[in-house]
Chain A
Amino acid sequence: MAIDFHAILPELVLAGTALLVLVVDLFVERKVVASWLSIAGTVAAGVALASLVGAGTRSTFGGSFVVDNYALLFKGLFLGSLLLVLLMSQRYVDAGTAYQGEFYFLVLSSFVGMLLMPSSRDLLMLFLSLEIVSATGFIAAGFRKGDARGNEGALKFLLIGVLSTAVMLFGMSLVYGFTGSLQLGPIAERLAELGNEPAAVMAVFLVITGFAFKVSAAPFHFWAPDTYEGSPVPVAAYLSVASKAAGFAGLLQVTFVAFPSYARYWAPAFAVLAAITMLLGNVIALAQTNIVRLLAYSSVAQAGYMLVPFAAGSSADPAVREEAFQAVLVYLLIYAFTNLGAFAVVTLVSQRQPSNLIADYAGLARRSPALGVAMTAFLFSLAGIPPAAGWYAKFVIFKSAINGDTLTLQLLVVFMAVMTVVALFYYAGVARSLWLGTPPEGAPELPTPRPSPTLGAAIILSAAGVLILGVLPNLLVQYAPGSTLVAGP
């Protein structure tokens, strides 16, 4: 069986870069070389990816690895995120740790797993890519070795991660037992033939539960705030965006591609899951005093919004299912820009004020108006208010759910509408503090924060993305594929 090396070129480039970084780091004095090497490797992987665009659907490894529009879009999203993460890491890592090469190795490896994820079309590949993402994530999360919170967060992440993996793997083995296949397409066919088999339904739910941990859907979310808080800020950024997006990529594939015939079971479950996730994420976020924890709970809530379209997965109308599928994609794209941007600002501030308290942001915008404008744009984009891009993301979710035209979905969107308002309260609270807050009495006078060129580039790129996409969303979303992936129930 010949391997289509062109199809896996982006992954190969990135994996090669990761190994190269690890080796080069041993022999150079100036560790910042590792960072530039990683950035170069990311750009090269991007070029490799670009060479695949428009080349049609490619498939290799016996159909287990497929490069189609859906995969390309996700890979583009991941490489873009990786670039932003690397840009924001450079100064932060340079100032903080002696293990720079290792850090970049871990981040790059994790993204190799993410690139594999949307192309994986069998359960084994899905599992492997997810584990590459997670295993490297466990170590990256614990990178601040001397920090007790870092250790706690990483350990929690590890234990929960292993638990969810076990649950998922158990489910996958049952699915294999029932269907005799690991590939998603055949699984869908066999499950449809199988009909109502309670144990198979349980297996499906076990797999979904495993992914629910990864996307930090409530009630499987409780690792996220602790882990994000303990991690280096750039790692928290990629966990909250890229790793979550990888989880959603997997979730989309198993639900819409492998298990569509059981949608009547999982779609209502997703409605409940979405509602709980939105509720817990938003309400707990209201009480946060630490910016990273706030963003963590906000990212839980955002996952809740993204779960809403899954509840439309049981619709008999293929157009509705396809729209639901795309709504998740569009939301992820816009959310990625926005949240990475917000974390880039947090990275900058935490260099001088590592406590990451929201109070540290009081008056930040007065010291640096440009930074204030950028952070305000990110916050209001997360809240979903035009002209920042987030409105469009919320809009497509609302639209996809309304399109489903069932009572459950209607109730769910009304609930989501209310939750959006709750969310605005804490986003606007931070924004207000940025512009109006006064630092506490006796706090030392802080200089104007000056981002390093790379971090500045990360902030400018994401802010420009958020503002331009808010006015002209079509620039990006026209590429959300009219996916051929979505099969019938």
Chain B
Amino acid sequence: MDWFDDSAVTLAVFLPLLGAVAVAVLPREREGLVRGAALTFAGLALLVGVGMLARFDYEAGAAMQFEVARSWIPSIGAGYHVGVDGIALPLLVLSLLLSVLCVVYSLRFLPEPGNPKAFLALLLLLETGMNGTFVALDLVLFFVFWETVLIPMYFLIAVWGGPRRDYASIKFILYTLIGSVVMLLGFLALWLRSSPEAAGRTFDILALQQLGAARFGGTFGTIVFAAIALGFAVKVPVWPLHTWLPDAHTEAPTVGSVLLAGILLKMGTYGFVRIALPVLPEAAHEWAPVIGVLGAIAIIYGALCCLAQRDVKRLIAYSSVGHMGFVMLGIATLTPTGINAAVFGMVAHGVITGMLFFLAGSMHERYHTRDIVELGGGMATLMPRLAGVFTLACIASLGLPGLAGFWGEILALLAAWNPAPGLSVPLFRTLALVGLVGTLLTAGYFLWLIQRVNLGRVPDRWGGRTLGDLAPLEAAAWSPLIILTVALGFAPGLILWLTSPSVTGWFTDLFA
């Protein structure tokens, strides 16, 4: 199985790209073939991911597995260095899984103006960018994958989006680009300082982590951390850089929203865990209180915004701001618990919010509106199964114990109660309390949402219509998410088992 270990990561990243090319050259008239090809390539990539899960050494700690290091652009010292550890693998598999589900969902539901060929080709290109970001161990490679998601997502929103897609798509791409060019400058600064000799300089993330605090301390570290963190923070998004998110999520087509919320946001938080913290520990320590406070603000701010929304999709989008606030709070504690919580929160949010956006899309398909007031309630009577899934997703998202959403939040709050040595305990305990208030507000708006959408009498305007309940294809696309939501809720160890050794390996001594 050596060949598998050597090529698994490469296959997982580039099979979708191959699929995108295949879809692009197939004739447009053969829609069945186009869809089949897209599903095959995305499915194969997922199989590779499952194979990686099977062959992964769960005890290996901070060591990278399935590692490949080849030369790529020797003239600037950038290499094709990829690999996964327990932090990257769950996110990679999540990305592979959600992409397949999105392709499945698109088999039937494709928004105006149709054209499955272009849609699926972009989706697969997007997948390559997302997968690549989670496995890249070279800053240049990371940057290229990071930026590769921009164009497909831009077009997914701009072509297949809602009424304000022009505005939303350009806002998305400009916001992200300003973050990522500043991030790139930070990367280059790291490269410059990695060695006094030109020949010894490196973009390799693992090598930079070895250099760590010894070389990147002081004002330099503080500034570079800020530059890199800005790029990540726009993507997360951290309050107050979040304003692109509600627009992009609301206007994007259903699968665009699913992948935006499910994967793209995690690229930002993953960047903190993989690059910003380990490479610049000293600066991370300085910035941690700021990140923590911004995270706590996002929790409260997101929840308050949710309470004021009328559009189901926009509400879910704002709920993402809050949930990512918990993830950022976990990261800001700089403790293994907090970072475990963060990774868990990323996966859980990807699963649950992915499902919520699927649901919002399907509700829109049926009602042709997402306005809570116009929906008017009674979905439980009208479409009991759809309403059941919706209820499950909502209560999972609000963090009910026994479902996936709970663990990320509770662990983050616990971690905030005992932050890393040197961080202000009163401050972080206050943040924990603020987060606790946030969970209450979150519960409040989700329960209110369930009440307004699911319960009550069916309004007259929907009375005479037949709105089909859960379709088989929807059930197929969502069942993995439903299963994961429940499974991760009952057995958080499924993720923590993966992440914990790596997180312990990376972060135990770093901030002690």
Residue numbers of A with Cβ under 8 A of B are 319, 369, 373, 376, 380, 385-387, 391-392, 395-396, 398-399, 402-403, 405, 413-414, 417-418, 420-421, 424-425, 428-429, 432, 435-436, 472-474, 477-478, 480
A319-B198, A477-B73 known; A418 and B178 CB under 8 Å? yes
Q: Are B147 and A428 in contact (CB under 8 A)?
A: no
A391 to B28, CA, bound (A): 30
Determine the chain B residues whose CB is within 8 A of the CB of A396 once the complex forms.
76
A403-B192, A424-B174 known; A395 and B159 CB under 8 Å? no
Contact of B214 with A by CB under 8 A = no
* Contact segment of B179-187, B248-256, B296-304: B179-187
Q: How far is the CB of B127 from chain A (nearest CB, A)?
A: 14
Determine the chain A residues whose CB is within 8 A of the CB of B177 once the complex forms.
385, 420-421, 424
A395-B140, A424-B173, A428-B170 known; A473 and B73 CB under 8 Å? yes
Contact of B150 with A by CB under 8 A = yes
A102 to B416, CA, bound (A): 77
10 additional A-B pairs beyond A402-B185, A413-B185, A474-B75, beta carbons within 8 Å, are A385-B151, A391-B147, A395-B76, A399-B76, A403-B192, A417-B178, A420-B177, A421-B178, A425-B170, A436-B158
A115 to B158, CA, bound (A): 44
Determine the chain A residues whose CB is within 8 A of the CB of B62 once the complex forms.
none
Determine the chain A residues whose CB is within 8 A of the CB of B118 once the complex forms.
369
Q: Which of B183-200 contact A (CB under 8 A)?
A: 184-185, 188-189, 191-192, 198
Q: Which of B63-89 contact A (CB under 8 A)?
A: 72-76
Contact of B154 with A by CB under 8 A = yes
Q: Are A421 and B181 in contact (CB under 8 A)?
A: yes
Chain B residue at minimal CB-CB distance from A424: B177
A403-B192, A417-B182, A473-B73 known; A385 and B150 CB under 8 Å? yes
Contact of A398 among B147, B173, B178, B184 (CB under 8 A): B184
Interface size for B (C-beta < 8 A) is: 36
Q: How far is the CB of A219 from chain B (nearest CB, A)?
A: 26
A396 to B192, CA, bound (A): 13
Determine the chain A residues whose CB is within 8 A of the CB of B184 once the complex forms.
395, 398, 417
Chain B residue at minimal CB-CB distance from A402: B188
Contact of B10 with A by CB under 8 A = no
Contact of A417 among B28, B74, B144, B181 (CB under 8 A): B181
Determine the chain A residues whose CB is within 8 A of the CB of B151 once the complex forms.
376, 380, 385
Q: Mark B145-187, 1 if CB is under 8 A from A, else 0.
A: 1011011001100110000001001100110011001101100
Q: How far is the CB of A467 from chain B (nearest CB, A)?
A: 10
B interface: dominant SS: helix
Q: How far is the CB of B146 from chain A (nearest CB, A)?
A: 9
Q: Are B181 and A386 in contact (CB under 8 A)?
A: no
Residue numbers of B with Cβ under 8 A of A are 24, 28, 72-76, 118, 140, 143-145, 147-148, 150-151, 154-155, 158-159, 166, 169-170, 173-174, 177-178, 181-182, 184-185, 188-189, 191-192, 198
A322 to B315, CA, bound (A): 54
Q: Are A478 and B74 in contact (CB under 8 A)?
A: yes
Those 9 A-B pairs whose CB atoms lie nearest each other, nearest first? A417-B181, A402-B188, A386-B144, A386-B147, A421-B178, A474-B73, A319-B198, A421-B177, A386-B148
Q: Are A435 and B159 in contact (CB under 8 A)?
A: yes
Determine the chain A residues whose CB is within 8 A of the CB of B144 once the complex forms.
386-387, 391
Determine the chain A residues whose CB is within 8 A of the CB of B148 once the complex forms.
386-387
Determine the chain A residues whose CB is within 8 A of the CB of B140 once the complex forms.
395
A352 to B167, CA, bound (A): 31
Q: How far is the CB of A62 from chain B (nearest CB, A)?
A: 34
Determine the chain A residues whose CB is within 8 A of the CB of B191 once the complex forms.
399, 402
Interface centre among A319, A376, A386, A480 (most CB of B within 10 A): A386
Determine the chain B residues whose CB is within 8 A of the CB of A435 once the complex forms.
155, 158-159
Q: Are A417 and B158 in contact (CB under 8 A)?
A: no
Determine the chain B residues whose CB is within 8 A of the CB of A405 once the complex forms.
192
Determine the chain A residues whose CB is within 8 A of the CB of B24 once the complex forms.
373
A396 to B140, CA, bound (A): 11
Determine the chain B residues whose CB is within 8 A of the CB of A319 once the complex forms.
198
Contact of B174 among A376, A421, A436, A474 (CB under 8 A): A421
Q: Are A417 and B185 in contact (CB under 8 A)?
A: yes
A420 to B140, CA, bound (A): 18
Determine the chain A residues whose CB is within 8 A of the CB of B182 once the complex forms.
414, 417
A387 to B174, CA, bound (A): 17
Interface centre among B75, B155, B173 (most CB of A within 10 A): B75
A386-B148, A424-B174, A424-B177 known; A398 and B75 CB under 8 Å? no
Q: Are A480 and B75 in contact (CB under 8 A)?
A: yes
Determine the chain B residues whose CB is within 8 A of the CB of A413 once the complex forms.
185
Determine the chain A residues whose CB is within 8 A of the CB of B72 once the complex forms.
472, 474
Contact of B185 among A392, A398, A428 (CB under 8 A): A398
Determine the chain B residues whose CB is within 8 A of the CB of A392 once the complex forms.
73
Q: Are A436 and B159 in contact (CB under 8 A)?
A: yes
A420 to B176, CA, bound (A): 12
Q: How far is the CB of A359 from chain B (nearest CB, A)?
A: 15
Contact of B181 among A402, A420, A478 (CB under 8 A): A420
Q: Are B188 and A428 in contact (CB under 8 A)?
A: no
Q: How far is the CB of B498 from chain A (nearest CB, A)?
A: 30
Q: How far is the CB of B424 from chain A (nearest CB, A)?
A: 32
Chain A residue at minimal CB-CB distance from B182: A417
Q: Are B169 and A398 in contact (CB under 8 A)?
A: no
